Amino acid sequence: MSKTVQLIIDNKSYELPVVEGSENEKAIDISKLRAQTGYITLDTGYKNTGATKSGITFLDGEKGILSYRGYPIEQLAEKADFLEVCYLLIYGDLPSTKEFNAFKENITNHTLIHEDMRIFLDAYPTKAHPMGILSAAVCTLSTFYPESQKQNRSDEAVDLTIQRLLAKLPTLAAWAYKNSIGHPVNYPKNKYSYCENFLNMMFAMPAFDYEPDPVVVNALNKLLILHADHEQNCSASTVRIVGSSQANLYASISSGVSALWGPLHGGANQAVIEMLEKIMVDGGGLMKWINKAKDKDDSFRLMGFGHRVYKNFDPRAKIIKKAADDVLNKLGIVDPVLEIAKELEEVALNDDYFKSRGLYPNVDFYSGIIYRSLGIPTEMFTVMFAMGRLPGWIAQWKEMMADNQPIGRPRQIYTGSKERDYSDIHKR
């Protein structure tokens, strides 16, 4: 017998069904609440509201568990290639050798951008934020592939759009960076892997070649995997709600890029470095800022510590901490900002104040350190996040379309003026 919950309103009882997920998550199904009672629920920020059923990502913040399609994030980060994870998220299973080779080849063959896109890039000012360029460029791709806007396309046509987007976004990201510093763009090279190709487009110059370092490539591969999906977060939900209007994939992903841009979401790793730079410039020593963070009357907050979902240690942080150590040791970088980061990490991991509150370094803290050590400028950090999150967004969009979910249309409680009559402007 299925479980139900009893709701009593004005002495009248209503039975609401209970839905249980495959990992024993439970939810009260209120889909017919308004029709049956005239009431809606109020949940600002949707912290207690399940907007959908999904088979993509499982997250348990209390236990520190993250898995993609049932595979623990620890195993995927240690053993998988990022494109394997892309295939897993989008299509539901890890690919066979034949499937993976075909998938990689298709992506490799679509990395070039139409030359007319250069006109758009040239029109942006060099000071334009790369996230603004990336969001606009992704949406612009739909104008080069108008067939992507047709409804009821074949699975093959949808797959082609997906592969084009996975292939072209790193090119767009690298070109956005090159534009921001006034350098000529580098074209993709098919001889490189996905991560190697991106690094080459970022750092090669007409005056010299760039050879990707295996340690750096491995760290980037891990970072992209760790960022690939994170359940129904702000940007994933944005992609779903835009896509629910039957908007094409490019427009839907563009909306996700814009949502990710905010400092409370994808911009957190940028905020980490900006905080560390502030501490360095201040010159008052790290403990001054540690004490400010502990002072509940002080507005200062440590960026990159704790997480809204994970109540203890972020499982992604455990993985990427080692990659950060490997990169720093391999490259032998001397950077006062990164030295402050190391000191801050040591304090947070051993101080009872932080341990008792679960304020451990999260993935944003370590990813910011890695990106800085690789020479990636701070304003590009969120772009890197977007590149990693792309397969998750695509998977969320694809799942929603396959399930034929209705257009998103949240309700509200109106708190404005009651009905009033219009008066002539001369009589007000």
CA dihedral 80, 82, 84, 88 (to 10 degrees): 110
Phi, psi of 196 (to 5 degrees): -60, -40
307 is catalytic: yes
Q: What is the pLDDT of residue 395?
A: 98
Q: Return the ∠ at Cα 254 (arms to 197 and 157), rounded to 5°.
A: 75
Residues 6+ apart with CB under 8 A from 191: none
Do the beta carbons of residue 55 and residue 231 sit within 8 Å?
no
Q: Hey, what are 384's tokens?
A: 């890197």
Which of the following is catalytic: 155, 364, 421, 426? 364
Tell me which H or E stretch contains 82: helix 82-91
Q: Which fold has domain 71-261?
A: Citrate Synthase; domain 1 (1.10.580)
Q: In what order do the strands lie in the sheet with 4-9?
A: 4-9, 12-20, 26-28
Question: What CATH number was assigned to the domain covering residues 4-50?
Answer: 2.20.28
Q: What is the pLDDT of residue 328?
A: 84
Do the beta carbons of residue 240 and residue 408 sit within 8 Å?
yes
Tokens 């994808």, residue located: 266
What's the longest Cα–Cα distance across the chain?
A: 79
Q: Return the ∠ at Cα 220 (arms to 100 and 131), rounded to 5°.
A: 100
> What pLDDT, in 10s, does the model give residues 130-167?
999 999 999 999 999 999 888 888 999 999 999 999 99
Mean pLDDT, contiguous 10-residue spans, the chain (428 residues)? 88 94 93 94 92 94 91 95 98 98 96 92 86 94 91 92 97 90 91 96 90 91 94 95 95 97 82 88 89 90 80 80 84 83 86 85 84 87 94 97 92 94 93
What gap in Å lies between CA 165 and CA 142, rounded to an integer?
Answer: 10
Q: Hey, what are 79's tokens?
A: 């053993």
What gap in Å lies between CA 127 and CA 135, rounded to an integer?
Answer: 16
Domain 268-373: CATH superfamily is: Cytochrome P450-Terp, domain 2 (1.10.230.10)
Burial class, 315, CB count within 10 angstroms (exposed 0-12 / middle 13-18 / buried 19+): buried
From the list 36, 17, 34, 35, the residue with the least C-alpha distance to 26 is 17
Residues 6+ apart with CB under 8 A from 106: 163, 167
Domain boundaries, the chain: 4-50, 71-261, 268-373
> Sign of dihedral through CA atoms 365, 371, 376, 381?
negative
Do the beta carbons of residue 240 and residue 231 sit within 8 Å?
no
Which of the following is catalytic: 116, 307, 325, 351? 307
Query: Which amino acid is located at 141 in the chain?
Result: L
Task: Kindly report the number of other CB atoms within 10 A of residue 162's CB atom.
Answer: 24
- Please, what is the angle between helix 155-181 and helix 97-108, to 10°? 50
43 is catalytic: no
Q: What is the pLDDT of residue 270?
A: 82
What gap in Å lies between CA 388 and CA 375, rounded to an integer?
Answer: 18
Q: Return the ∠ at Cα 389 (arms to 385 and 392), rounded to 5°.
A: 170
Do the beta carbons of residue 213 and residue 327 sit within 8 Å?
no
What gap in Å lies between CA 355 and CA 359, rounded to an integer?
Answer: 6
Q: What is the pLDDT of residue 1?
A: 53
- Please, what is the angle between helix 155-181 and helix 194-203, to 10°? 30
Do the beta carbons of residue 351 and residue 301 sit within 8 Å?
no
Tokens 């249309």, residue located: 409
Do the beta carbons of residue 238 and residue 218 sit within 8 Å?
no
- Taking the mean position of all CA atoms in its chain, how far away is CA 66? 14
Residues 6+ apart with CB under 8 A from 405: 52, 240, 244
pTM of this structure? 0.91
DSSP 361: B
End-to-end CA distance of the chain: 64
Q: What is the pLDDT of residue 156?
A: 94
Q: Return the ∠ at Cα 231 (arms to 230 and 235), rounded to 5°.
A: 75
